[in-house]
Structure 1
Amino acid sequence: MMLSKLFLLSLIVLAEQAPVPLLHPVSPMPSFSVVSVRLSKPDEQGTNSGVNQDSYHAERTTMKDVLAYAFGMGYDQELDGGPSWMRNERFDINGKLDPEEAASIKSMSRDDREEKMRLMVQSLLKERFHLTYHFEAREMPVYRLQIAKGGLKCPRDTTSQPAIPDPSKPRFRWSAAPAPPPPPPGWHQPSPTEWKRMMGSLHMHTKGWPWWLIATSLSHQPELAGKPVIDDTGLEGGYECDLQWSQEGSEGTNQYFFQAIQDQMGLKMTPSRGQVEVLVVDSIDHPSEN
């Protein structure tokens, strides 16, 4: 049997998928100096999006995915409202910074640069798509990540540094209860997590990750059916975890997801209900191409 590709899922990719936090705009809102919006060609396949030090690009992407990046959403339940084309039609979007703005961003930390780019994409959505929206706190099904009977099996990574939040700057807002310490900006970036997939089995390794970030990474697995995962461990600091499991219905020989988490990490996923902040799209216009 052919092995599927080894792939690495870095924190940048995770941030683009944007887990639980919602980024609230601040004033004044930064914006791109040049913006291009076009409908994707129907015969093109795959998606590609990302940020550079002087630009943002999203190729063959839905408006739902652009909103997810701009506001830091990781779950379908975190977005409501809007027309059907927002989820079905695909666009090629490019935003370019002016040279002076690009030079100032180069001197920023990666966290601050990422945060500013998200705010600039919010400006793009308002200027070109005339987006209007509001936030609501809604109760919905969640999983709580808790320490299982027998205790935690992931060692503390003493080489990692704790978060040092800066209250003077805008930050991601983690509204799912119980609220963990505020993440970026100002928190020290841990090492990227490594994912391996072969013969129906998955392997995840983290080093120096806080539990809210581990919960976010685990939450994207299909076994959770899109339900948000809330860190309920009560632990602070960075941890090193190693997890191997097989997806149900696959030919993998490892344990299934929920049992693997308990046996290998000393954790459990407890079904529950919790408050999750939802972005509600009040209106959004189909853009004209340029």
Structure 2
Amino acid sequence: MTSYGYTATGIALRTVIMYAYYPHPYGYWRDRLLSVPPWMAKARYDIKAKVDDATEKEWKGLSTAQRRERVKPMLRAMLEDRCKLALHSTTTEAPIYALMVGRHGPKLKISNPGELLPVGRVKLQLAATGEGPGVIVPFIPGEKQQDLFFGTPMASLAAFMSNFSDRPVLDRTGLTGQYDFVLSKRENSPPPTEHSNVSASDPDPASIFDVEGLGLVLKPAKGLAETLVIDHIEQPSEN
């Protein structure tokens, strides 16, 4: 995504569909898009979509996350127009990671709504990117790689880690409060980046983040997850 539109080179149409329709824009979850025609597996496209001047002016005051959410319906309209895409959503059993409490119990601090957040640091609202309530203060390059979370329920933490996973992470901790905690990145782990499509050989989020340090564990499991089913799609014509 560009600041005021969407640009991609050599991208698979499947990736564009996942970006446009799923709440977590970069998680490439296998088996979550069904009835994919064979030609989509090999075809790659260059996309350059720019908003009009009035929309660009409106978007200048928005955060990257807010602009990203506004791009999604535009991409859906483009797919429906250029590819005649029609699909529907269903709930199916799919591979997941279950976020659970470890054997010795959680190591989380119950959030104090009146507590001040760190001064002079970037603060990201998890709700702005679809994860739910909570605030994250990302680490600064050169510092120890750990993110600070404030007022964050476990469902939001699970949704956050889904962005770095090949499958959804679902909250099965049974914890209902909002918490302050530090999520550390494991030493020598690959850099967690939302902008790369993960594959079967990529690490699970437990190999990236030290969830055990929070008294939590991630376990492969089965669970109900939203799945998209393509009813109709055509190869897009060139401009």
TM-score greater than 0.5 by the shorter chain: yes
Identity percentage over the alignment?
Answer: 24
Aligned partner of 1:232 in structure 2 is 172
Aligned partner of 2:59 in structure 1 is 105
Deviation at 1:79, TM superposition (A): 1.3
Which deviates more from structure 2 when the two are superposed, residues 227-236 or residues 272-281? 227-236
- For these two proteins, the number of residue pairs brought into alignment is 206
CA distance in 1 between counterparts of 2:233 and 2:88 reads 12
Equivalent in 177, 195, 215 of residue 158 of structure 2: 215
Ranges in structure 1 where 5+ consecutive residues have no aligned partner: 1-49, 173-181, 197-202, 248-255
Aligned partner of 2:13 in structure 1 is 63
CA distance in 1 between counterparts of 2:209 and 2:160 reads 17
* RMSD between aligned residues: 3.6
Equivalent in 38, 62, 83 of residue 129 of structure 1: 83
CA distance in 2 between counterparts of 1:195 and 1:213 reads 24
Equivalent in 244, 268, 278 of residue 186 of structure 2: 244
Deviation at 1:148, TM superposition (A): 1.0
Q: Cα gap change, 1:164/1:90 in structure 2, threshold over 3 Å: closer, same or farther?
A: closer
Q: Name the SS for the 1:153 alignment partner.
A: coil
Q: Which amino acid aligns with 2:214?
A: M
Length-normalised TM-score, structure 2: 0.70
Q: Which amino acid aligns with 1:207?
A: L
Deviation at 1:71, TM superposition (A): 1.2
Indicate whether 1:206 and 2:147 are aligned.
yes
Q: Cα gap change, 1:60/1:267 in structure 2, threshold over 3 Å: closer, same or farther?
A: same
Q: Cα gap change, 1:278/1:133 in structure 2, threshold over 3 Å: closer, same or farther?
A: same
Q: Check conservation: 2:124, 2:136, Cα contact below 8 A.
A: no
Equivalent in 273, 282, 286 of residue 222 of structure 2: 273
Q: Cα gap change, 1:116/1:108 in structure 2, threshold over 3 Å: closer, same or farther?
A: same
Deviation at 1:140, TM superposition (A): 2.2
CA distance in 1 between counterparts of 2:107 and 2:9 reads 41
Deviation at 1:104, TM superposition (A): 1.8
CA distance in 2 between counterparts of 1:51 and 1:213 reads 26
Equivalent in 45, 60, 72 of residue 118 of structure 1: 72
CA distance in 1 between counterparts of 2:125 and 2:77 reads 28
Length-normalised TM-score, structure 1: 0.59
Deviation at 1:120, TM superposition (A): 0.7
Q: Cα gap change, 1:216/1:162 in structure 2, threshold over 3 Å: closer, same or farther?
A: closer
Deviation at 1:144, TM superposition (A): 1.3
Deviation at 1:257, TM superposition (A): 3.4
Q: Check conservation: 1:57, 1:95, Cα contact below 8 A.
A: yes
Deviation at 1:87, TM superposition (A): 2.9
Q: Name the SS for the 1:149 alignment partner.
A: coil
